[in-house]
């Protein structure tokens, strides 16, 4: 059931981030970069998407900074939130960490914190695989955005 969870999280994250960007009246390209960074793969998605949507260097840098700061906060706090919310279930915690933390390295870091704090090695495996499935979505999102901003 991991793939449907990843797809739902991807779509909802993309939609919510886009709406927040519009509400804050951010430039459309910057909003798109933050949305792909949040919903897919953090910095990698931003750097890969930037040239395809003709984003300038400032927009890319700002999006990278936003994703990195929020990802760092997630890396530190989400392992403990996952443990509390999912009552120590390593599978659910791994799915949560793999879908909720932005960047691949941050997912692995958060899952490792979970493993070290709660002796649940399954969480690291599940979080890593879940995140890699999310990363595959770049193959769909980047061409779509390139066409949209073409």
For 89-128, the DSSP string reads: -HHHHHHHHHHHSSSHHHHHHHHHHHHHHH--THHHHHHH
Q: Contact, 148 vs 110, CB < 8 A?
A: no
pLDDT of the residue at 18? 97
* CB distance 12 to 134 below 8 Å: no
Alpha-carbon 105 to chain mean position:
11
CA 143 – CA 138 distance, rounded (Å): 8
Q: What is the pLDDT of residue 1?
A: 72
Query: Distance from CA of residue 143 to its chain's centroid?
Result: 18
Q: What does each of the 150 residues of the chain score in pLDDT, given as a tens digit?
A: 789 999 999 999 999 999 999 999 999 999 999 999 999 989 999 999 999 999 999 999 999 999 999 999 999 999 999 999 999 999 999 999 999 999 999 999 999 999 999 999 999 999 999 999 999 999 999 999 999 998
pLDDT at residue 78 in the model: 99
Alpha helices of 37-89 — where are they, by DSSP H? 42-52, 57-85
């Amino acid at each position: 059931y991991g793939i449907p969870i990843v797809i739902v999280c991807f779509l909802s994250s993309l939609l919510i981030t886009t709406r927040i960007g519009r509400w804050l009246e951010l430039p459309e390209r910057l909003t798109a970069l933050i949305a792909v960074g949040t919903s897919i793969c953090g910095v990698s998605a931003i750097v890969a998407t930037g040239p395809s949507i003709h984003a300038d260097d400032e927009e890319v840098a700002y999006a990278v900074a936003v994703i990195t700061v929020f990802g760092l906060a997630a890396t530190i706090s989400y392992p403990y939130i996952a443990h509390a919310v999912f009552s120590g279930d390593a599978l659910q915690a791994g799915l949560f960490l793999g879908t909720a933390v932005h960047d691949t390295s941050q997912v692995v870091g958060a899952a490792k914190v979970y493993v070290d704090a709660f002796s649940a090695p399954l969480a690291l495996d599940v979080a890593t695989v879940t995140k890699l499935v999310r990363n595959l979505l770049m193959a769909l999102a980047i061409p779509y955005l390139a066409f949209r901003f073409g």
